[in-house]
Structure 1
Amino acid sequence: MNTQDVVKRYYELANAGEWDAWCDLFAPDQTMDEQLAGRIEGRETLREMMKGFPTTYAAFANRPVHIVVDGEQAAVVSHISARTVSGATIEADVCNYFRISDGEITYMTNVHDSVPFAPILTS
């Protein structure tokens, strides 16, 4: 897959809640700087972390609004709409940056306002 395909698949799988397949998009030695979770190194570490996602969110959608691809890099502005298992709603604009090599995400970071995520940070 090229960079555009990987990025498109990233959002398709996230929105389908297919977290194991989503994790497979990342390189085994990937690094992610996730604004809420911190630095996550390694695909299997990410996979373990994502196992808790369904116990946090009853519904989750991350819809791309604008995608820019330049070779093996991409930036995506998106909007998250989510509902926690306790019923709290989350609405947040996000910017993700990706580096992709040989069809796998080697690095990713996200930037967003953390205030909308307070319901999951305090529970």
Structure 2
Amino acid sequence: MSTRETIDLYYEYANAGDWSSWCDLFTDKAVVDEQLAGRLEGQDTLREAVAGFPEMYRSFKNVPRHVVVDGDQAGVVSHLSAVTAGGEPIEAEVMNYFRLEDGRISYMANFHDTLPFRGPLGMEGR
């Protein structure tokens, strides 16, 4: 699978709530530096982290606005729109950096505006 195909599937699966297929896009030893959750290491850790998403979010959409692919690396600017289980809306601009090995994500870094996540998720002060 090409880098672009993997990146497109990353957003397709996330927006469909298909977290199992989303996790399959990562290598077994993938590292994700997530701005709110910190460093997540390994595909199993990712599976645990997203297992609660269906209960945390009534809706979750992360729509790519600009994608740049250079070999086995990609950068994506996107817009996240979500509604928490408590009905709180979240709107955030996002930047993701991806590094792939053999068509699977081996490293990802996530950067976004944290303000929309403070109230609904109890992350004041972060």
Q: Output the TM-score relative to the length of structure 1.
A: 0.97
Match of 1:22 in 2: 22
How many residue pairs end up in the alignment? 123
Match of 2:75 in 1: 75
Secondary structure (helix, strand or coil) at the match of 1:36 reads: coil
Contact kept in structure 2, 1:56 and 1:120, CA below 8 Å: no
Match of 2:53 in 1: 53
Q: Output the TM-score relative to the length of structure 2.
A: 0.95
In the TM superposition, residue 37 of structure 1 has moved relative to its aligned partner by: 0.3
Give matches, 1:37-116, under 5 Å: 37-116=37-116
Which segments of 5 or more consecutive residues in structure 1 lack a partner in the other structure? none
Alignment partners' CA distance in 2, 1:54 and 1:122: 18
Which segments of 5 or more consecutive residues in structure 2 lack a partner in the other structure? none
Contact kept in structure 2, 1:72 and 1:101, CA below 8 Å: yes
Contact kept in structure 1, 2:31 and 2:40, CA below 8 Å: yes
In the TM superposition, residue 55 of structure 1 has moved relative to its aligned partner by: 1.2
- Aligned residues with identical type, % of pairs: 56
Alignment partners' CA distance in 1, 2:55 and 2:68: 32
Match of 1:121 in 2: 121
In the TM superposition, residue 121 of structure 1 has moved relative to its aligned partner by: 2.8
Root mean square deviation, CA, Å: 1.0
In the TM superposition, residue 58 of structure 1 has moved relative to its aligned partner by: 0.5
